[in-house]
Structure 1
């Protein structure tokens, strides 16, 4: 109890930002000193439920008999009463909640505060606890005296009783659920720190002050970042942090942020390549004065990896010398990132003069505690899970409530994910956190929805031609700031071409007479693979394939190589290829800094086409870098199977995006696209209530609108299934966890949680390996040159790390139906090497054991994996009868 109370004092004094302390004080209507006392008290008594017969006897296991005998010898009866025996389980957290609740009631305080200790194992109790309460009511007086003594001693030590009277006495208002949620998150932090037997060993050999000092040295908590942004101008910040002077949109965003005197949502809409990342980081320096740190949320793991080094470099220059900040890469494959692995051992910042240092905290690491670091770069899923009913959600809430949260590439979110985004923003707003949202452009309705999630103040009208645009909204004000647009930097001819691959090859042959770098974006992996195969026949050495169906390790390496070849520093004759055809899916659509000479893209919604065009003539280059035929940028659009009288789209495009947006986009495609001039107008038109549609399309348009309405309605319904209520509507603490424990346990798995906040079919992650032959107990890792591995033996750490970094997702079609799921997953469970069960890195993972030809048959599917094409369905029995 003392260890946890002391850990809580350290967490409050060292880690909790001033804004969170003031928020608690405001919500509880007490001075900040009372907040500290209440928190330390709750942390100190959170395990009082261990003083019960159920916990002390531990099922009367033999190894604990001697310990329990000492309890009996102290005069405490060791027999359960009849009500306690009726209970199948009696978790000590539930017992703690009841005991502390009784104590609070006896002292004239709102017993709801006891739910903090009840929920410290990740879930607030719900349902009827009458049997548990009756069991404790029937405890004999010696046990009740112990409960009183333990709680009373902690109350005296913390001096909490006057604070409790002010916060939850009879005259105080009811404590709101968000307050309970954050208090519980802080109690969990203190509990986990005190439970670390390295930091707080089970032997006491020094004073409590010395014990705490030693424990904190091993815990390595870092305090809120000492942002120095408001002491500098925009020019000073950009030159210090990034080594260049700000562009107009960057300067205006910083000024808007610096003018704020409280939390806000800031939405930046600017073209690709405008420096939105640096603009957001600079704005954070102003807004972060009141924050514990930042979370930079990227749309994918690959984009998070790409951002990491830029953020690390910024972080190293962020604070004064001597200040230490912690940084974490938040996604399930962070072990693949060499910069992050290097940070864990060496830190950064030593070579930046008077800058502070940045470390990867040992204690603040892992999928739950990593978010507690000052600076977190990760996927958006990790933030959206804030709105998910999930075990230990309170730790995610307390980690994010004190941060500036930056959302990148928001235009790419569908209805389902947008619901989670808006609910997350609502909770961040309630906690007083600031939010920055970045997008190439947003439909006006999306801009309004995002601002409305943060504040009830309506946005003013936005001029039609306003772009770039900055929107700033606070609790009591909202404004839009049109920014002087950059000069036209691209005028690309846009045309639709036939969808056949033979005609695409012929088209490119005419364009590539002197080489060139081509980017072809397909809407599905299968279509990308098909396109790649066709070009491989004609250009065997000059075509490459990128999609999400490669092993994670390979995908990272392929994208790094692509950035190096087509990035801003490569030139023809010096890194940039003479001829390169890059075939990719949407992985090339966002946050990938590559520059193509010509773009071929499948039809997609207008905002995504604009985003894809962001890879076209992205960087200023000398004419010698581009072939003469490709000096003028061109966009060729595929996927329109039939132009008239009513358009028909490739089935993949229609399935992914729906016909409504595709029809509206096709009807409003310009013959020439000018960047940035045309961006806002095109997106606004396509997403308006009544875009211009040819009269002969009217019936198809109305049908597409009905399909879209149904699609949106279904998406809203699915999103609501696992989403927590809005903070103002959350009446009971248990409402945040109101799912069966089995479903909560599933959502507690990071992969399940990530999947739940995306509107995508659930897929199964596997690790391809190669069998040496049928019936053999020898297998080989794909890549790595590790030699033969024996199925029954635990792999060495280097092998296990390589294998765990080699995951790939099966195509959704393979596990879409229950019968297929059972056949595929059941088969893989039997075929996964037994030795993996002994490895911490591989336990629970599924192997995909391939034969010497790289194939495996599971149920009615034959799957193939190759380093060239990635995962693919080689055959499907359901198609053989067609």
Structure 2
């Protein structure tokens, strides 16, 4: 980066290992990195580099909560933990001293010298029969076997030696199967003496140089069975290995002393120290004013003040659950509490987990501003946006042009670390804003899970909108809470509508205990740790909304008639539908009477179009827009669930499909959301009104729309209808209604009993199926894991296939991995990106502007198109053939699929005919059976 200073990002007092004795000629002949034209890197050098990096990582990046967890889990002192980590990093690749690895380039031109070095050093190259039969002999497994045997020679018992050696065994992301280790053990035990001497030399030399012997002696006497501590150590070894393997930081040509090499390598790696928050005085109002740029006269609300007071009581890992209505400043309250707790516990930073990419993007700039305002003046904070589309976020990309080590204006010391923005590394940053999936994947059997664990274990985790999780995802959430508590991470959770049973389940997952004294207060702050529980009931807000509710017939004719009557004098109507197809249908029906006033919003638009639509809506319907100026005289917004959480818009009237009560209340949060002058709303809509549809009949019992029932299940919808009030007051009715709907025992009308019992049976079956599915790739509770392989169970090989972030996100959401496409007009040989007047001919390499626009044009195909293997193969196979090959040459488009459309905006994919338009988004027109299914 231009203008970047060469200030090292670690203290000069860091003790890096430098007292390595000379290695033998045989050991120096071993290579670790085949390198480039400048040369190759020897195995001893790579191990020394990794040990040196580990020392710096431990002293500068590893936060105090992680150090405390490791000292407790390993029954060692802090210095002993440090030495053990450096030694494990220094021997992690010793298994590269095997014939399969060292001779793999024998037939590759230009690398013959690497093999000649071995023979010149007197090392025999006879490969045994069993080794010849192996197509692969992973050096991670070899390292684990060699370390295991060496530790047992030092007097370790097998279980302890096996647990320690699993760090090296799993440093490529997943522990190896037992049968593979046994096979390689047999091979290595038969190696010639010359090779076995190299193995001993590597392990002995590292032990002597790091002076780890006394630590190992202590470990011999300990009963080591803490898989969580080993998981953290493995994650730390991965970090050290990845840094030391970067040739830009640790070049193949070795010059200067080892201490200088490590110092220069870490200067080239912008790894930041744990977050350092500004000191906090006792004035709560001043804390909020300085943190969020509030004016001096602004006072914290009761919920916000109570959260800070709750945070001040935290002296151990704690779960804080904040329940309060929308619009009271829960986001600011959570960040302020995190600031207090981070200062008290020396946390590594925070992770702010949002339900969707859109909400994460919406939180980003607020969190950047908070981080600038709260980071200590002389410190630098690294920030990361954790979702798969972060390259398209301009606020985040602007941070990446700053360099760590530069001189910053006051309050401008927040950057996106270049190294920590790499694949799988972003969560290592101090402050992370991202989707909840990235945290829930802690509970997923997934390659490199240890890196995710070590990245989150030292942070304060903030979960937003925790009410919105189904049974399947709740299983992942509860397992994640168990692991976060086990690591000693404090967790803050927020919800506007949390059923008491869910609150109890969250507390039990984190503390292992039920809620001691259930409270029906609202708002409510629950504070729970392993040793204590208490609740705080902040002063409630006055009633800020009183809306009438009415169920209307579910037909396009009735919808149109209601709109014409309600909007006779103009106004803003919001219609929320449960599916894209219903939203498209409602939009089309309204066009005949409102050709210029109706607008469609759902997740089936290209990313940039959806973003533009949402930005326009926020401008037109936000708090600063007024009728007669930017707020339209008449507008109808038809949307799906995207309007529940991610859109800060204010409607005069709401028409919504039936949904669970907590989600209905979220939707009602968009009705009369902002205080407005009377002139902003037409006289007929000055009293808030809600109309509920998607119910086919109410008598003699409710008959639900099949789409609503498929999404949410019949029981919760019937219970919602049972308790649907004629008038809803906010916040007064929020907690009582949610509590009533989710109560385990219900009194239902006699006419409902048969349908209710059917719904209960189906709900029970649905929940049992969800619990069963969630076990497929979910890791065990930390209390059930005594070995690293316990985190992967019998699915070690399957876990490797789950490396893709999109697949992992789908796995924790009980969603089908969606296939993303980029619609273009034309063919791969000549096409126009939608929304441009460009014509790209002949499949040329794309410039940045073209690639960025295309990368911003992704849209997800409906899941039913790729649900079954034969459809997936047909659809994706067709798309791969139709995608310009030049796309794979640009980092923004690598792996993306094109959807070439004809002049009508349509395409044939397998048995499906689809259409994309800027008006309706993605549609399935037919499924190959001649049926129109849009």
Q: Shorter-chain TM-score category?
A: over 0.9
Alignment match, 2:840:
788
Secondary structure class of the residue paired with 1:329: strand
The equivalent position to 1:47 in structure 2, one of 83, 93, 101, is 93
Deviation at 1:621, TM superposition (A): 1.3
Residue 26 of structure 2 corresponds to which residue in structure 1?
none
Distance in 2 between the 1:388 and 1:798 partners?
37
CA distance in 1, matches of 2:571, 2:610: 23
- Picking from 796, 811, 829, the partner of 1:777 is 829
Question: Equivalent residue for 2:23?
Answer: none
2:440 to 349, 365, 384: 384
1:275 and 2:326 aligned: no
Tell whether the 8 Å contact from 1:331 to 1:367 is kept in structure 2 after alignment: no
8 Å CA contact 2:84–2:212 kept in 1: the answer is: yes
- 2:472 maps to 416
1:615-630 equivalences under 5 Å are 615-630=670-685
Instruction: Give the one of 503, 526, 529 matched to 1:447.
Output: 503
Q: Which residue of 2 aligns with 1:141?
A: 193
What secondary structure does 2:288 align onto? Answer: helix
Structure 2 residue aligned with 1:103: 150
Distance 1:783 1:187 in 2: 47
Question: Structure 1 pair 351/591, CA: closer, same or farther in 2 (3 Å)?
Answer: farther
In structure 2, the partner of 1:26 is: 72
In the other structure, the counterpart of 1:827 is: 878
Residue 56 of structure 2: aligned partner? 10
1:185-208 superposed Cα distances (whole Å, 9 cap, x missing partner) = 000000011111111111112222
Cα shift at 1:510: 1.6
Superposition map of 1:843-862 within 5 A: 843-862=894-913
- Equivalence for 1:728: 783
Q: Secondary structure at the match of 1:779?
A: strand
State the shift of 1:46 in Å.
Answer: 0.6
The answer for the alignment partner of 2:616 in structure 1 is 561
Instruction: Give the equivalent residue in structure 2 for 1:219.
Output: 269
Match of 1:235 in 2: 285
Pairwise CA distance, 1:139: 1.4
User: Which residue matches 1:203?
Assistant: 253
The residue number in structure 2 matching 1:712 is 767
Work out which of the residue numbers 715, 724, 737 in structure 2 matches 1:660.
Answer: 715
Instruction: Tell me the CA shift for residue 483 of structure 1.
Output: 2.0
Distance in 1, matches of 2:715 and 2:700, equals 16
* Corresponding position: 1:815 with 2:866: yes
Q: 2:649 matched to which residue of 1?
A: 594
Distance 2:408 2:187 in 1: 62
Moved more, 556-565 or 249-258: 556-565
CA distance in 2, matches of 1:533, 1:154: 72
* SS in structure 2 at match of 1:748: coil
Superposition deviation, residue 813 in structure 1:
1.9
How far residue 728 of structure 1 moved from its aligned partner, in angstroms, is: 1.0
> Following TM superposition, by how much is the alpha carbon of 1:830 offset from its aligned partner in structure 2, in angstroms?
2.1
Secondary structure of residue in 2 paired with 1:747: coil
Contact 1:349 1:355 in 2 (8 A): no
* Correspondence 1:396 to 2:442: no
1:57–1:65: 8 Å Cα contact kept in structure 2? no
Tell whether 2:318 aligns with 1:264.
yes
Q: Does 1:298 align with 2:345?
A: no
Residue in structure 1 matched with residue 365 of structure 2 by the alignment: 309
d(CA) in 2 for partners of 1:363, 1:687: 46
Q: Which residue of 2 aligns with 1:614?
A: 669
SS of the aligned residue for 1:364 comes to: helix
Alignment check: 8 A CA contact 1:316 1:349 kept: no
CA distance in 1: counterparts of 2:402 and 2:932, whole angstroms: 60
Question: Offset of 1:785 from its aligned partner?
Answer: 3.5
1:135-534 mapped onto 2 (5 Å cutoff): 135-166=187-218, 168-169=219-220, 171-228=221-278, 230-242=280-292, 243=294, 244-289=298-343, 290=345, 291-346=347-402, 354-355=410-411, 357-464=413-520, 466-534=521-589
Whole-angstrom CA distance in 1 between matches of 2:800 and 2:870: 23
Task: Judge conservation of contact 1:403–1:434 (CA < 8 Å) in 2.
Answer: yes
**Superimposed CA distance per residue, residues 21-76 of structure 1 (whole angstroms, 9 cap, x where no aligned partner):** 11111111111000100001110111111111111111522332211111111121
Contact 2:175 2:796 (8 Å CA) reproduced? no
Task: Report the RMSD for the aligned CA atoms in angstroms.
Answer: 1.9
Describe the superposition over 1:296-329 as per-residue Cα deviations: whole angstroms up to 9, x where unpaired. 0000000000000000000001122121000000
CA distance in 1, matches of 2:776, 2:574: 39
How far 1:459 sits from its partner (Å)?
A: 1.1
Give distance in 2, aligned partners of 1:859 and 1:223. 52
| Residues 229 and 494 of structure 1: CA distance in aligned 2, closer, same or farther (over 3 Å) | farther
**Alpha-carbon distance, 1:742 to partner:** 6.0
In structure 2, how many angstroms separate the alpha carbons of the residues matched to 1:615 and 1:350?
Answer: 43
Name the SS for the 2:104 alignment partner: helix
Equivalence for 2:590? 535
Question: Which whole-Å deviations, capped at 9, do the CAs of 1:97-132 have from their partners, x for residues lacking one?
Answer: 111111111112331201101111111112212221
Shift of 1:658: 0.9
Matches within 5 A, 1:656-805: 656-738=711-793, 743-771=798-826, 777-791=829-843, 793-805=844-856
Cα 1:322/1:854, change in 2 over 3 Å: same
For 2:20, the equivalent position in structure 1 comes to none
* Residues 268 and 574 of structure 1, relative CA distance in 2, 3 Å threshold: same
Q: TM-score, normalised by structure 1?
A: 0.97
Q: 1:475 to 1:333 in 2, by over 3 A?
A: same
- Cα distance in 2 for partners of 1:768, 1:832 equals 10
Which of 183, 201, 209 matches 1:131?
183
**Aligned to 2:926, which of 852, 875, 879?**
875
> Hey, what's the Cα distance between the residues in 2 that align with 1:351 and 1:267?
39
Single out whichever of 597-606 and 728-737 deviates more from structure 2.
Answer: 728-737
CA drift of 1:20 comes to 0.8
Partner SS state of residue 849, structure 1? strand
Relative to 1, partners in 2 of residues 1:217 and 1:347: Cα closer, same or farther, differing over 3 Å? closer
Partner of 2:134 in structure 1? 87
Distance (whole Å) between structure 1 residues aligned to residue 731 and residue 761 of structure 2 = 33
Indicate conservation of the 8 Å contact 2:277/2:375, yes or no.
yes
Within 1, Cα distance between the matches of 2:364 and 2:815?
Answer: 26
* Unaligned stretches of 5+ residues in structure 1: none
Size of the aligned set, in residue pairs, is 875
What are the Cα deviations for residues 267-291 of structure 1, in whole angstroms up to 9, with x where unaligned?
A: 0110011111001000101121221
Q: Secondary structure at the match of 1:179?
A: helix
CA distance, structure 1, for counterparts of residue 611 and residue 860 of structure 2 = 15
**CA 1:837/1:732 → structure 2, altered by over 3 Å: closer, same or farther?**
same
Residue in structure 1 matched with residue 83 of structure 2 by the alignment = 37
Which residue in the other structure is 2:857 paired with? 806
Change (3 A) 1:228 1:762: same
Contact 1:604 1:653 in 2 (8 A): yes
Give the secondary-structure state (helix, strand or coil) at the position aligned to 1:84: helix
- For the structure 1 residues 201 and 367, does the alpha-carbon distance in structure 2 shift closer, same or farther, using more than 3 Å as the test? closer
Listed as ranges, the gaps of 5+ residues in structure 2 are 1-46
* Cα separation, partners in 2 of 1:407 and 1:413, compared to 1, 3 Å: same
Moved more, 143-152 or 31-40: 143-152
| Partner-residue secondary structure (3-state), 1:317 | helix
Cα separation, 2, equivalents of 1:130 and 1:590:
52
CA contact (8 A) 1:298 1:407 kept: yes
Residue 834 of structure 1 deviates from its aligned partner by: 2.7
Q: Which secondary structure does the structure 2 equivalent of 1:323 belong to?
A: coil
* C-alpha contact 2:403 2:415 (8 A) present in aligned 1: yes
CA contact (8 A) 1:599 1:634 kept: yes
